[in-house]
């Protein structure tokens, strides 16, 4: 048996400055919100460093220290900005109450390899902090839009009633406008007609292309692959302009079929990439065994190959569906008023009439995207289990 290394308490010269640095980051946000980011950095660093020293040398009890920090910062936040600031202060209090003792008792080394140097441990957590900061940066606009969709007023900003968490400041009227408006519902039905058809074409052609390009004897595989995935690489405005001039010559400009074909072309690269990734671990001896047993190529594909690559096919189809459902640039070029999709209606609402209903629609689309991406992740894990790349 391997003996566990006891966790030793760290010196003041380590955890106090680190806590102060984290407090400076928190103070930057609080100070910026109150008009002075530099002052917030200084106050945050000093207060959190002092807090770390007091909790570990005077209080020493982690449970008491964490609760005292949570309550103290919540009270400070309440006096600074009411209930919203109180909730933010409570969150900071919970974090710093845990963070101080996590550093002080050396628990940060519990789940890292014992042979790592201090510099490697520092980079280990720094990398995670950077990833978390990027995630927060990307997710913040979504977190702002979703509460605004429940605004009782026709504003794109938080009203005083919303900031006070007054129920009178919140309403579902923008969602009612969305479901009761003929323009919005017509755009939804257009999207629901175009996106599934485009997805079906993308999955059919993309899957066949991926299977064909996975064969080693196919000539110019790399060049063909580059051409097929070029719609993902080429700027969308260039693809849209090219489709516009081509469709004008062949009579597909302003037709539903033209929009479907355009969206299918945009979705095919996603299907090719996901199916190709699934085929990397595919055992080709299974198809040869099926052929030896007398199965024709079509039977072999549907009975042997398709069940194993199905997670990748469905994942590619979901990506193609999202691409078609959310696309606006191409449909502006190749579509007409009869093919006004939901993103087109949102774009029109921003350009011609500022309607908060857009926020409600955006929130609904975010929910749909989250559900679809969850399905993609579940399918990815199932695909790995089927190929023996992860434990069942």
- The first and second tokens of residue 157, run together, are 């900003």
Stated length of the chain? 392
- The first and second tokens of residue 254, run together, are 């302003």
Q: If we measure between CA atoms, which residue out of 321, 374, 51, 22 comes closest to residue 200?
A: 321
Q: What distance in Å separates the CA atoms of residue 103 and residue 100, rounded to the nearest whole number?
A: 5
Residues sharing a CB contact under 8 Å with residue 114, sequence separation 6 or more, in sequence order: 5
Q: What distance in Å separates the CA atoms of residue 58 and residue 37, rounded to the nearest whole number?
A: 31
pLDDT at 392 over 60: no
> What is the model's pLDDT at position 328?
87
Query: How many angstroms separate the Cα of 284 from the Cα of each of 203, 278, 296, 375?
Result: 21, 12, 15, 27
Query: How many angstroms separate the Cα of 12 from the Cα of each of 9, 45, 188, 245?
Result: 9, 15, 60, 70
> What is the model's pLDDT at position 268?
92
pLDDT at 220 over 70: yes
> What is the model's pLDDT at position 8?
62
| pLDDT tens readout for residues 192-203 | 999 999 999 999
- The first and second tokens of residue 216, run together, are 């080693």
Cβ(195)–Cβ(263) under 8 Å?
Answer: yes
Q: What distance in Å separates the CA atoms of residue 27 and residue 11, rounded to the nearest whole number?
A: 24
Residue range 181-386, CATH number: 1.10.3720.10
Of the two residues 254 and 76, the one the predictor is more confident about is: 76
Cβ(8)–Cβ(82) under 8 Å?
Answer: no
> What is the model's pLDDT at position 118?
81
Cβ(207)–Cβ(313) under 8 Å?
Answer: yes
Q: What distance in Å separates the CA atoms of residue 263 and residue 330, rounded to the nearest whole number?
A: 8
- The first and second tokens of residue 45, run together, are 């660093």
Mean residue pLDDT across the chain = 84
Whole-number percent of the chain with pLDDT over 90: 19
Cβ(254)–Cβ(336) under 8 Å?
Answer: yes
> What is the model's pLDDT at position 7?
52
Taking the model in full, what pTM does it have? 0.71
> What is the model's pLDDT at position 390?
54
Domain boundaries, the chain: 1-111, 181-386
219: left (phi over 0), alpha (psi -120 to 50) or beta: beta
| pLDDT tens readout for residues 286-300 | 777 877 787 787 888
Binned at pLDDT 50, 70 and 90, residue 4 comes out as very low
Q: What distance in Å separates the CA atoms of residue 388 and residue 379, rounded to the nearest whole number?
A: 14
Cβ(202)–Cβ(271) under 8 Å?
Answer: yes
Stretch 331-360: mean pLDDT, rounded? 82
pLDDT at 47 over 60: yes
Stretch 352-362: mean pLDDT, rounded? 80
Q: What distance in Å separates the CA atoms of residue 61 and residue 51, rounded to the nearest whole number?
A: 13
Of 53-57, 93-97, 170-174, 350-354, which range is least confident?
A: 350-354
pLDDT at 275 over 80: yes
Residues sharing a CB contact under 8 Å with residue 159, sequence separation 6 or more, in sequence order: 151, 152, 153, 169
Q: In 149-284, which ranges are continuous DSSP H helix?
A: 160-163, 173-180, 182-213, 221-228, 230-233, 236-250, 256-279
Stretch 45-70: mean pLDDT, rounded? 91
Of 17-21, 36-40, 350-354, 363-367, which range is least confident?
A: 350-354
| pLDDT tens readout for residues 137-187 | 888 888 888 888 888 888 777 888 887 777 888 888 889 888 888 888 888
pLDDT at 124 over 60: yes
Of the two residues 86 and 348, the one the predictor is more confident about is: 86
């Amino acid at each position: 048996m391997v003996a566990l290394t006891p966790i030793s308490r760290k010196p003041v010269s380590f955890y106090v400055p680190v806590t102060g640095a984290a407090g400076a980051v928190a103070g930057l946000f609080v100070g910026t919100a109150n008009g002075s980011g530099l002052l917030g950095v200084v106050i945050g660093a000093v207060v959190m460093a002092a807090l770390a020293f007091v909790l570990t040398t005077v209080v020493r009890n982690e449970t008491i220290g964490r609760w005292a920090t949570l309550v103290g910062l919540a009270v400070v936040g309440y006096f600074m900005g009411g209930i919203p600031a109180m909730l933010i202060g409570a969150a900071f209090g919970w974090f710093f109450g845990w963070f101080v003792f996590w550093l002080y008792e050396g628990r940060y080394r519990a789940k890292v390899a014992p042979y790592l140097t201090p510099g490697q441990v520092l980079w280990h957590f720094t990398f995670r902090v950077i990833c978390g900061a990027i995630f927060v940066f990307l997710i913040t606009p979504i977190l702002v839009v979703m509460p605004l969709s429940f605004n009782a007023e026709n504003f794109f900003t938080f009203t005083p009633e919303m900031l006070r968490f007054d129920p009178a400041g919140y309403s579902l009227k923008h969602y009612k406008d969305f479901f009761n408006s003929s323009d919005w519902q017509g755009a939804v039905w257009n999207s629901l007609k175009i996106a599934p058809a485009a997805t079906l074409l993308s999955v059919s052609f993309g899957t066949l292309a991926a299977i064909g390009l996975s064969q080693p004897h196919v000539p110019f595989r790399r060049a063909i692959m580059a051409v097929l995935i070029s719609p993902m690489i080429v700027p969308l405005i260039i693809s849209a302009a090219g489709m516009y001039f081509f469709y004008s010559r062949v009579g597909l400009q302003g037709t539903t079929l033209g929009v479907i074909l355009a969206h299918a072309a945009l979705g095919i690269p996603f299907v090719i990439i996901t199916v190709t990734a699934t085929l990397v671990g595919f055992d080709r001896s299974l198809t040869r065994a099926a052929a030896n047993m007398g199965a024709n190529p079509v039977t072999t594909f549907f009975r042997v190959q398709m069940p194993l690559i199905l997670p990748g096919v469905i994942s590619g189809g979901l990506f193609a569906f999202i691409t078609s459902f959310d696309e606006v640039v191409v449909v502006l070029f190749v579509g007409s008023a009869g093919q006004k999709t939901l993103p087109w209606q949102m774009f029109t609402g921003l350009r011609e009439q500022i309607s908060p209903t857009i926020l409600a629609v955006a929130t609904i689309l975010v929910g749909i995207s989250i559900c679809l991406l969850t399905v993609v992740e579940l399918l990815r894990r199932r695909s790995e289990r089927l190929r023996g790349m992860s434990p069942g």
